[in-house]
Chains A and B, each alone.
Chain A
């Protein structure tokens, strides 16, 4: 009993909010790169956003049930792709994260996030219980854990970590007992030393400098300190587009990508920060509203999973700029320059719109 939907049923607010944020991001990319060799980057980002918008509209036309039905082979393809990347992928800057596709490089792990969202939604659409059992933790944990480990091996710990909120939100929504949370927290705490053992030296350094930011102002926490200086020096009104000395002079690393929010906060000040945070908050709350009114469990789990990963990335990225979290390579959704990330977000938005359009249950 699939419904036929019309275009006017689309949820335009999600797309409108996203495009406003993306426009801010493109302005900032222009501002931090127009004087450098990356001067053309903002053009590319515009194309990615346009392509993403088209893809989102296309996906929103599809019934999300149809998409979720594709999960098993999408999952298999994703794991195969990650394994192939590890085995045969080109090493770029010491990591095997990217696949070159016709002059562009593509980050497989970004699309893996989408597959994880589908996997979690598909799992809980089937598992209709009041509370999840330990078996559920084991099963879904293994399903998500495999690609997560593969991504972490690239190494891209940041992206691997983004799988976690999807699963966590899924379990929370499906229903967990307090003792389960307590037991898992304890287990996680016990695993910490083991995890430390597997970290690369630079990752350990970042963690140490997170705990003791003043110890090494040139190494790992250099980035953190410089982005703090950028943000703090922005003040209330900011220094204006193109006037952010910290980011323009290159003190803030990759100010057009992972550290774009520092550059933005420097140039637009607290006013800009507040505006951007409100826009993100509106987007996230709107997504969760959609989950509340979704037509079924599948739709709700899709929206919650997507909102969870967006929230995680936004909070960690914006938080690490001011030292709330250690520095990880997590891009800021919609603002950071990057095609793979933009594609993931717009595909997710398409999925969300598909759910919202089909929310009326007869």
Chain B
């Protein structure tokens, strides 16, 4: 290659000059562009820059704790992390980014996309909870992807903890994410991801338990890392709530029912305080405090034994022979019979052209000569069939309702079942037919369409034995609610005064059930003043039961006991579903009553329960120390 200096073909000089002018012109355009940003729109961009540095983080208010009547912790909180989506800078999240976040946090991309769309209309300074109770992996994901996903952040929250696990779970209920329809309601204080009570006490006293979230304004860099704090609006913690539940009695009742399906309710009839409430099988509310996984949820909700149902207030079952105290009370109160009314029980009776069997008929005998007292003691069906016939359905239904059945007791728990007392009016409305006279006979012994909950039976028993003073059952102390500025439901007693003689006769009969070798003899214990009434309720009609496989249609076992046998302080209603015979329910109520009396006498738990209660107490004390430490900090 030969290159020369001078004899080149020269290009015109204007070409380079043109380039120079073009460059100068371009620079002028650039300068104008910078002038517009830096001078003309300076204020606007300064605002944006300021906002870039400040992030509003909610300070989650801890929910109030739930305590038993002696201040022992039933429900507590422990610190956990939630993954937040900060939305100040994110106008839209592209599907790809949503997918990336979903993979990282192991969420369903479709769910996450929905959440993002649903929250798009919220004010931009409000972060959205993407995932509660983040695992170590989730936390690591957020921390290590600050660059890719600067809009993710972690928030320390107080997660619900139930130190007693499944104990009293049905009463306490569980918490979960606020449902969409609650957020959508006008004036709703809730934001997506907020935690609310979903069932039990957590739900009925949600406003009391939940505090008010605070807000922290922090300076962050673009990776979302906090580098300073500005102002803090402190969170207002929720109120602690003391329940009427006695943890010792609760534990005793839980243990007494064991792994059988059923319920136990212990009530103080003098004031309506619920001392214990058990529903088995149960669930662990801790599973819900973390976002419950689908498998656990499906297992719980599809279990035929319905662990999520509070059977103490939701089991809609025939009360069986327990109902006889209502039939008996009605017969005496209306003067239909006197206590000396006697008949001969041959094991069966023919009424209205139909043969009704006594429960002892299978044993090939009758009760023989029975008066009112013996009829209750031995739960003679024929006697109460006859009373039913004499009373008629209208009077029977009237008394059943006045004595506490066929309507909600009004306990401070959500979704109480009202039970059912059939009447001619009811069959007309429901089945569009006339009342069959024979139905009255079934109702008289608590069968047929009669349905009640364990709580209702305890309520009925407490009311009748207290001479007709019905106290609304409740779990929260009236005074405490008043002190917290709530207006609790009226707790004063509903009076349905009963004749002293009636009450005495019925109570004496129930004393005999336990103490005179009656159907509840299993509850007899020297030194304990226990009375009560048993019930063995058919789940289906007797004919069907005989033809069906026995196990599936076993009878429900009931026992409603109380102590002392006059002017009771405690009523315990025990239900063992498919327990076959009432005798299996009797010891449950006895155990709870004994624990109550022992505790009252000695102010210490009986020796048999000691071991279990030491375990409980050690858990309680541990959490109490933790709380004390937190308070000190």
Contact = CB atoms under 8 A, between A and B. Distances in A.
Contact of A324 (B30, B89, B151, B223): B30
Contacts of B48: 229, 232-233
B37 A281 contact: no
Interface in B13-52: 13, 15-17, 19-20, 23-24, 26-27, 29-31, 33-39, 41-42, 44-46, 48-49, 52
Most buried by B among A232, A273, A295, A322: A232
Contact of A65 (B3, B19, B34, B151): B3
The DSSP consensus for interface residues of chain A is helix
Contact of B221 (A122, A249, A292): A249
Interface string A112-124: 0000000000100
A269 B16 contact: no
Contact of B26 (A233, A307, A315): A315
B26 A288 contact: no
Nearest to A205: B94
A236 B42 CA distance: 8
B301 interface: no
B53 A285 contact: no
A226 B222 CA distance: 10
Interface stretch (A42-50, A98-106, A191-199, A214-222): A214-222
A172 B20 CA distance: 13
A233 B45 contact: yes
A335 interface: no
Contacts of B44: 232
A236 B31 CA distance: 13
Contact of A297 (B8, B26, B89, B91): B8
A295 B13 CA distance: 13
Interface residues of A, number: 67
B97 A219 contact: yes
A292 B14 CA distance: 9
Contacts of B23: 281, 284-285, 288, 307, 311
Contacts of A175: 11, 15
B42 A233 contact: yes
A129 B9 contact: yes
A232 B26 CA distance: 20
B603 interface: no
Contacts of A291: 16
A289 B10 CA distance: 15
Contacts of A297: 8-11
A315 B19 CA distance: 14
Interface in B84-112: 89-94, 97
A347 interface: no
Interface residues of B, number: 52
B3 A295 contact: no
Contacts of A246: 49, 52
Given A281-B24, A304-B16, A216 B92 contact: yes
A174 interface: yes
A349 B63 CA distance: 70
Contacts, number: 168
B92 A172 contact: no
A149 to B, nearest CB: 26
B483 interface: no
A67 B223 CA distance: 48
Most buried by A among B13, B30, B93, B223: B30
Contacts of A277: 27, 30-31, 34
B4 interface: yes
Interface in B176-209: none
Contacts of A125: 1, 3
Nearest to B90: A218
B541 interface: no
B38 A231 contact: yes
A235 to B, nearest CB: 4
Contact of A231 (B5, B37, B89, B151): B37
Interface in B215-268: 219-223, 227
A251 interface: yes
B1 A122 contact: yes
Interface string A207-251: 000000011111100100010111111111000000001100111
Nearest to A295: B5
A250 B90 contact: no
A232 B37 contact: yes
Given A236-B38, A297-B9, A318 B19 contact: no
A135 interface: no
A214 B92 CA distance: 10
Interface string B342-357: 0000000000000000
A265 B31 CA distance: 12
A88 interface: no
B6 interface: yes
Contacts of A270: 34-35, 38-39
A200 interface: no
Contacts of B42: 232-236
A298 interface: yes
Contact of B30 (A174, A298, A315): A315
A279 to B, nearest CB: 11
A68 B23 CA distance: 26
Contacts of A216: 91-92, 94
B34 A273 contact: yes
A272 to B, nearest CB: 9
Most buried by A among B39, B91, B221: B91
B49 A288 contact: no
A172 B5 contact: no
14 contacts: A130-B9, A175-B15, A217-B92, A218-B92, A228-B37, A235-B38, A249-B222, A270-B39, A291-B16, A296-B6, A297-B8, A304-B16, A304-B19, A311-B23
Q: Which 10 A-B pairs have the closest CB atoms?
A: A232-B45, A233-B49, A128-B9, A249-B221, A232-B37, A270-B38, A251-B222, A250-B222, A217-B91, A235-B42
Given A216-B94, A235-B39, A285-B20, 4 more contacts: A226-B222, A288-B20, A292-B13, A361-B6
